Amino acid sequence: LDSLVRTVDSHPSETADGTPVSLLLNAGLSADTEISLNHLADGVGLYRTEIPFMLQDSFPSEWEQTARYRGILETYRHRPVCMRTLDIGGDKPLPYFPIVEENPFLGWRGIRITLDHPELFLVQLKAMLRASEGLDNLAIMLPMISSVSEIKAARRLLDQAWREVSDEAQSRGAEIRYPSLGVMIEVPSALYILPEIAPLTDFWSVGSNDLTQYLLAVDRNNARVANIYDAFHPAVIRALQLLVDAAHHYQKPISVCGELAGDPVGVLLLLAMGYRRFSMNTHNIARIKYMLRQSHLDELALLMKTGLKHDNPHVLRGLFARYLEEHG
């Protein structure tokens, strides 16, 4: 891997035909509480803030959070860092905040919890904002958005947090930028309210893990139905295509931060659809960059056209997998 990193390190991140592509880091997935610098990454596309919460035995204080977030923003100084607000519930329980539900994936998850507990949400937002003092790279992202009212409510709380923190900073002669605010597109209802979501948001990030799970009604962690969980299902493909087309229409930067964006075959598929920003785990970045540099967009578009005629996930995946073998 070291030699692969050295080979790709000095080259720009672009396709064989010279189209630039951003490769971003998913941080916080494993037990890595300290986020180290990946020189190949153009920034952090998804920082899962719930992970450090899960490794403690009580809610971290505002100051603990500020210190942690400051570390990441400084490590990636001058590169964007997208911090997702707390996304607990579902498959991510907090030991000190038990939630008992029959159907956790359809229950109290992500933004639903933080809007019901504005005191938790405000502490986290203020910590992120304080951590960004004097820096220009903080972006904030909301998980599990299913309706416009959630974005409006979250925006109101962000305004409140920013006013407080920025007044306090100004009294010391310091400055805190108002961050860009984006949403995860991972609940199917979001697909149908994009015209309303667009004016309220600065960027979108596709959570292909949850989007696939909810579109196909397949638990993403249940081995018994793992064979039905398939991002190459025609419904998922159409949803992903609709999203990238809408993002271009509304001029919103769009990235993919689910596992599909760290899978070489998945990235080829997404490139063919028009995606140019991918966020993935640190160990995938070198090989995705290497693969990217061997890939021709016109050839991928042609594969997509052929693949879609079949409307069969296996055929489509097979076409892109063969391309990867020939070029990877």
Question: Can you give the binding site for ligand PEP, defined by CB under 6 A?
Answer: 46, 48, 87, 186, 207-210, 257-258
Residues in the chain: 328
The one of Mg ion, ligand PEP, none whose footprint includes residue 132, by CB under 5 to 8 A per kind, is none
3-state secondary structure (DSSP) of residue 14:
strand
Q: How far apart are CA 191 and CA 235, in angstroms?
A: 12
- The rounded distance, in Å, linking the Cα atoms of 55 and 133 is 26
Q: Does 207 bind Mg ion (CB under 5 A)?
A: yes
Question: By CB under 5 A, which span of 69-77, 160-168, 184-192, 220-228 interacts with Mg ion?
Answer: 184-192
Q: Which is nearer to ligand PEP, 112 or 296 (CB)?
A: 112
Of 181, 187, 118, 106, the closest CA to residue 151 belongs to 181
258 contact choice in Mg ion, ligand PEP, none (CB below 5 to 8 Å, kind-dependent): ligand PEP
**Contact at 8 Å (CB) between 28 and 52?**
yes
* Nearest distance from C-beta of residue 258 to ligand PEP, angstroms: 3
For residues 52 and 40, give the distance between their C-alpha atoms in angstroms, rounded to a whole number: 24
Closer residue to ligand PEP in complex, CB, 133/210: 210
Report the nearest approach of ligand PEP to the CB of residue 215 (Å): 12
Asked whether the beta carbons of 254 and 277 are under 8 A apart, the reply is yes
If the CB atoms of residues 87 and 263 are measured against ligand PEP, the closer one turns out to be 87
Q: Are 263 and 232 in contact (CB under 8 A)?
A: no
Minimum CB distance to ligand PEP smaller for 266 or for 307: 266
Least separation in angstroms between CB 177 and Mg ion: 27
Compute the least distance from the CB of residue 292 to ligand PEP, in Å: 20
Q: Shortest distance, CB of residue 45 to ligand PEP, whole angstroms? A: 9
User: Phi and psi at residue 160, in whole multiples of 5°?
Assistant: -60, -45
Within 10 angstroms of residue 240's Cβ, the number of other Cβ atoms is 26
Helix 118-131 vs helix 148-170: angle between axes, to the nearest 10 degrees?
A: 50
Strands (E) located in 76-164: 81-84, 138-142
Site size for Mg ion (CB under 5 A):
3
Which H/E stretch holds residue 181? strand 180-185
Closest to ligand PEP by CB, 27 vs 291, is 27
Q: Dihedrals φ, ψ of 280, to 5°? A: -150, 170
In the list ligand PEP, Mg ion, none, the entry touching 150 (Cβ below 5 to 8 angstroms by class) is none
Query: Can you tell me which of 42, 50, 150, 210 binds Mg ion, judged by CB under 5 A?
Result: 210
Q: Which tokens in the block code for residue 159?
A: 């305004």
Beta carbon nearer to ligand PEP, 166 or 205? 205
Residue 45: which of Mg ion, ligand PEP, none does it interact with, CB under 5 to 8 A by kind?
none
Whichever of 166 and 213 has its CB closer to ligand PEP, that residue is 213
CB of 46 to ligand PEP, least distance (A): 6
Among Mg ion, ligand PEP, none, the one that 257 touches (CB under a kind-dependent 5 to 8 A) is: ligand PEP
What does 166 interact with, of Mg ion, ligand PEP, none (CB < 5 to 8 A by kind)? none
Instruction: Measure the CA–CA gap between 92 and 50, rounded to whole angstroms.
Output: 8
Closest to 165 (Cα-Cα) out of 62, 78, 50: 62
Residues that bind Mg ion (CB under 5 A): 186, 207, 210
